[in-house]
Each structure stands twice: as structure tokens, then as C-alpha cells.
Amino acid sequence: MNLATEVGQHCHAILADSNGQVGVFRGYLDESGIHEGARVVSVAGYFARPKEWKRFTHDWTRVLKPAGIKCFHATDCQALEGEFKGWSADDRDELVKRLLPIIPRYAVGFARALVLDDFHEALEGRNDLKEIIEDPYKLCFQLLLQEALRQLQRNNSREKIAVFHEQNDYQGSAQRSYDFLKEHHDPNDNFLSLTFGDAMRFVPLQAADILAFESGKRVLNKRGRKRRSYQALCEGANGVQIGFFDHGNMDRFVRVLENFKHFRDAALSRGPLS
């Protein structure tokens, strides 16, 4: 069985053969992680129906396989490490030029990226907000899930969404975010499941990896020239919706946290949705 067929079957399986979309999520954290000294955290997701993920995987692997790349990792590609060790920058750039336009052809992207120094400075003395944030990764992931729900609820849609998240150190945070929203903020029962897996076997995660990486790079250089790889993700039929939070708009982000605290407190006082 080829990877495209396997991905299509896996999508149908996690959707329990319901009509709906599969959302794939992955995060980017700089080499320091999210502890002291880190610069940025970003979480990104793409949504598409099973047939679109199958077509994406077919086109994606048709480009990667002849190049000898088994699993595309944006950080390795940028640094010419891992599977890209020994590559020239020109060869790397040519592959990326062919690869990235495939993504917006099939999937709709969302990302949230946060500059951590600005985030911690803005929350100085705000213990009421700090206590509701387990970690910035969880916060970015939850904002993305809320946006997905908001768009469906705006149209009173009952379409199912199966969430597929990368296996990483933040699975616990992702699970708690998902469980909270499912219990308190999903009246139309849109969320179907949360599954964890790896990008080698479930190829769409590689698309989310690239968007998370490029979003993290962009928020650190918003006033600079846009990277060609970032521009490629923003073009095409679907494109992306990206939220950047840094010193310039951190006051708005604090209001987002205040609204979230209000929402959380109200949801907990109401109890689970019936």
C-alpha cells in the first residue's frame, strides 16, 4: 500500500467514516524550547478532507521520494542537517520551490506565533492570567482549536473535525486543551477525536511542521523581507490565516487572555455541555 492510500484510509478511520475534515497540528519551538531563554513558540494546523489529504500525500511524496527525503523537517532543511546533510543551498532551495506550493493547493492553514520575551513582560504582575496558562504552547494550540470551532459555529455547521497532533513533549497540554473545549465549548459536537502520531507515517503533519516553522521565523522578523517559503504558503487557492503576537500588539493579546479567563471561569461554573 502506498503512503497516499494509507493516509486516505487513516483519515477515514479517525473520522469514523463520517463526513468531515482532518486537522493536523504541529509546533515549532526554537532550540531553547519554551523555558527561559527561548525566543518564540508557534503552533500551526492545516484542515482538509480525506480525499484532499490523499491527493496532497501523492503529490508531496512524488517530489520528496526522488530527492531521497523520507520525512521533511523544516529545521533540518533550513540548517542542511539530518536528511539534508551534504546538500547545497541551491539544491535545497530548488526542492522547497517545488514542494511548498503543493500545500495551499489542498489544505487551509492556521497558525499562532508568540514572542516569549514580550509575552512574559506583558504578564508581569498578572498572576490572575498566569494561573490559567499551563504553557505558551498549550495556549497557542487552544487558540487554533477555538478558531476552528468559531468558523464552524458561525455557519451553524455540524461537520466533524478529527484532530491529529504530532507526538511530542506537549501531548499532555494538547490533550487538556482539546478536552476542555470539547466539554465546554462544542455545542454542535464538531470535535470528533484527538489522535497523536508521527510525521513519517502521517505525511500531512509535515505540512503543519513547515507552517509552524515559517510562522515562528516571521514573527521574529515582521518588518523584514518575507521569506520566499513563507510567501509560498500564503499563496494559492487556500492560503493561511496567521496570528502574530509580539511587543507591538501584546496589549491585544492580554485582552485575549482576559477574555479566555472569563470564558473559562464561566464554562467551569456552568459545568459540562449537556
* Per-residue pLDDT reduced to its tens digit, 13-45: 999 888 899 999 999 876 544 445 568 999 999
* Predicted local distance difference test score (pLDDT) of residue 35: 47
- The CB density around residue 97, as the number of other CB atoms within 10 Å, is 12
* Per-residue pLDDT reduced to its tens digit, 160-196: 999 999 998 889 999 999 999 999 889 899 999 999 9
Say yes or no to pLDDT of 85 above 90.
yes
Say yes or no to pLDDT of 76 above 70.
yes
* Predicted local distance difference test score (pLDDT) of residue 262: 83
Say yes or no to pLDDT of 113 above 70.
yes
* Predicted local distance difference test score (pLDDT) of residue 156: 87
* Per-residue pLDDT reduced to its tens digit, 1-15: 688 999 999 999 999
- The CB density around residue 224, as the number of other CB atoms within 10 Å, is 9
Phi, then psi, of 71 in degrees rounded to 5:
-145, 120
pTM for the predicted model, two decimal places: 0.92
Q: What is the mean pLDDT of the chain?
A: 90
Closest CA to 194 of 181, 210, 207: 181
Helix axes 171-184, 136-154, angle to 10 degrees: 30
Alpha carbon distance 2, 15 (integer Å): 20
Alpha carbon distance 252, 11 (integer Å): 36
State the total domains in the chain. 1
Give me the CATH number covering residue 105.
Answer: 3.30.420.10
Domain that holds residue 169: 3-270
* Per-residue pLDDT reduced to its tens digit, 92-107: 999 999 999 999 999 9
- Please check whether residue 122 is in contact with residue 254, taking contact to mean a CB–CB distance below 8 angstroms: yes
CA 121 to chain centre: 25
Closest CA to 99 of 76, 74, 82: 74
